[in-house]
């Protein structure tokens, strides 16, 4: 009996990786839903290739312009997740959320009730809306699986012992500028910042890796997902990116999880979770990568954004403001509107602005509150750079 899969964000790098895995096993899995924000051509090809009968195009203009194109192939096109499930109750075996950015939160909240298992690689959703996600997961008894390589590793290691944790170490590669002082690369062009030494990733997350913001997000995620306090989590740099998480237990034991630098490993293991039958193509353990592991304590002079972890994250507007500010700054950098150093300096300055700090003890009531704050942050950043250009 085939198992139904919903894949949100199928046209991005994580979505494409998931499809490459599912392509090898069409006997056991059937993709029932694909979504994209605006990449119509790619999702059209995906729908034809995997014989998918329902897709979502979130960009309203692209939806209105292209939905007729799919009618010839008898593919139903929607502009929202809610529209897809108006008259349906059956749950899928697995939903994978591979949407990037805060835009992934609302689709998650709308589809959890229709999913037996919910796997997510969308860190912004967890950071900004974990309380809402957690409530839906509990309400509909949906099994949660984190897909980030670090969090999947922690999740895998903690299956046996969740109460005996002393310390968790999240590993970071250090990105492309590990061996450079920040002053030396303050005006570095985006094309160099995008050259990650180990991972093939999208543009946004590649810049976040270079600045170490990605690792800050992962610490906040881990605190929420595993119900920890921030003092239980540290970041260490592991340039080979072979070890993804280390857990030190109170009983003196320490466990670590290693795998190749490809997201296919956590994604495939999530897909084959029930029977644990996945066999990785490169199944041979590369013990040589553990020779001279070379763990390094992060240098706050090179990665000043790490000081952000001194803030207290407690499901308030702070998390939403942080994510939105970073999105806006990275966007400006990729469009060559600000220098690389401005991502660091502007983030530190903006987080201290009274316009934002007054919200740091206030909790959003619903997803509309989150959307409103995202708009406010984007407008503020636009005005900020007009004045400080």
Task: Supply the pLDDT for residue 282.
Answer: 64
**Cβ atoms of 165 and 249 closer than 8 Å:** yes
How confident is the model over 100-145, as pLDDT tens digits? 889 999 999 999 999 999 999 999 999 999 999 999 999 999 999 9
Residue 388: Cβ within 10 Å count? 10
Is the pLDDT confidence value at 284 over 70? no
Nearest to 153, CA basis, from 49, 233, 254, 266: 266
pLDDT tier, 261 (very low <50, low <70, confident <90, very high otherwise): confident
Is the pLDDT confidence value at 281 over 80? no
For the beta sheet containing 165-172, the strands, ordered from the edge strand earlier in sequence to the opposite edge, are 233-237, 165-172, 243-249, 254-258
Task: Supply the pLDDT for residue 161.
Answer: 65
**Cβ atoms of 53 and 59 closer than 8 Å:** no
Residue 288: Cβ within 10 Å count? 8
Task: Supply the pLDDT for residue 381.
Answer: 95
Q: Which residue has the higher pLDDT, 334 or 389?
A: 334
Task: Supply the pLDDT for residue 367.
Answer: 94
Task: Supply the pLDDT for residue 343.
Answer: 96
Residue 87: Cβ within 10 Å count? 5
**Cβ atoms of 152 and 266 closer than 8 Å:** yes
How confident is the model over 23-73, as pLDDT tens digits? 999 999 999 999 999 999 999 999 999 999 999 999 999 999 988 889 888
How confident is the model over 1-21, as pLDDT tens digits? 799 999 999 999 999 999 999
How confident is the model over 345-376, as pLDDT tens digits? 999 999 999 999 999 999 999 999 999 999 99
Distance separating alpha carbons of residues 185 and 180, to the nearest angstrom:
7
Share of the chain above pLDDT 90, in %: 77
Dig out the tokens for 207 from the structure.
Answer: 């810049």
Task: Supply the pLDDT for residue 220.
Answer: 96
Task: Supply the pLDDT for residue 294.
Answer: 84
Residues in CB range of 30: below 8 A, 6 or more apart: 2, 3, 4, 5
How confident is the model over 195-244, as pLDDT tens digits? 988 887 889 999 999 999 999 999 999 999 999 888 999 999 998 888 99
Task: Supply the pLDDT for residue 90.
Answer: 84
Task: Supply the pLDDT for residue 303.
Answer: 94
DSSP track, 61-126: HHHHHHHHHHHTTT-EEESSHHHHTTT--PPEEEEEE---SGGGHHHHHHHGGGEEEEEE--HHHH
Domains and CATH numbers, the chain: 3-147 (3.40.50.720), 149-310 (no CATH), 312-389 (1.10.1740)
Task: Supply the pLDDT for residue 69.
Answer: 87
Is the pLDDT confidence value at 389 over 70? no
| Partner residues linked to 347 by β-bridges | none
How confident is the model over 143-195, as pLDDT tens digits? 999 999 999 999 988 875 667 899 999 999 999 999 999 999 999 999 999 99
Task: Supply the pLDDT for residue 67.
Answer: 84
Nearest to 114, CA basis, from 5, 228, 237, 271: 5
DSSP track, 46-73: HHHHTT--EEEE--HHHHHHHHHHHHTT
Task: Supply the pLDDT for residue 310.
Answer: 94
């Amino acid at each position: 009996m085939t198992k139904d899969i919903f894949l949100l964000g199928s046209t991005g790098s994580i979505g494409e990786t998931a499809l490459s895995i599912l392509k090898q096993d069409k006997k056991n899995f059937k993709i029932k839903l694909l979504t994209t924000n605006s990449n119509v051509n790619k999702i059209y090809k995906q729908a034809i290739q995997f014989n998918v009968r329902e897709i979502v195009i979130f960009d309203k203009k692209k939806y209105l312009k292209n939905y007729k194109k799919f009618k010839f192939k008898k593919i139903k096109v929607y502009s929202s997740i809610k529209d897809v499930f108006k008259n349906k109750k059956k749950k899928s075996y697995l939903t994978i959320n591979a949407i990037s950015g805060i835009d992934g939160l609302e689709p998650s909240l709308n589809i959890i009730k229709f999913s037996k298992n919910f796997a997510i690689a969308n860190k912004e959703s967890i950071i900004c809306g974990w309380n809402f996600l957690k409530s839906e997961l509990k309400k509909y008894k949906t099994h949660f699986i984190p897909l980030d390589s670090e969090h999947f590793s922690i999740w895998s290691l903690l299956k046996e012992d969740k109460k005996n944790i002393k310390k968790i170490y999240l590993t970071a590669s250090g990105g492309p500028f590990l061996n450079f002082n920040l002053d030396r690369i303050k005006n570095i062009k985006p094309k160099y910042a995008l050259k990650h030494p180990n991972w093939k990733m999208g543009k946004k997350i590649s810049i976040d890796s270079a600045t170490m913001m990605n690792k800050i997000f992962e610490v906040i995620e881990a605190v929420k997902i595993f119900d920890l306090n921030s003092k239980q989590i540290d970041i260490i740099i592991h340039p080979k990116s072979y070890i993804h998480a280390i857990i030190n237990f109170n009983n003196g034991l320490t466990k670590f999880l290693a795998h190749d630098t490809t997201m296919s490993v956590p994604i495939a293991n999530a897909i084959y979770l029930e029977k644990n039958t996945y066999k990785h193509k490169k199944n041979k353990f590369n013990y040589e990568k553990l020779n001279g592991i070379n763990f390094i304590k992060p240098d706050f002079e090179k990665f000043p954004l790490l000081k952000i972890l001194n803030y207290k994250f407690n499901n308030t507007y702070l998390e939403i403001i942080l994510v939105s500010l970073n999105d806006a700054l990275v966007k400006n950098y990729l469009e060559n509107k600000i220098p690389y150093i401005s991502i660091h300096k502007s983030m530190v300055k903006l987080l201290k602005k009274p316009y934002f700090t007054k919200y740091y003890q206030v909790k959003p009531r619903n997803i509309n509150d989150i959307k409103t704050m995202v708009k406010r942050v984007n407008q503020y950043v636009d005005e900020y750079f007009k004045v400080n250009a």
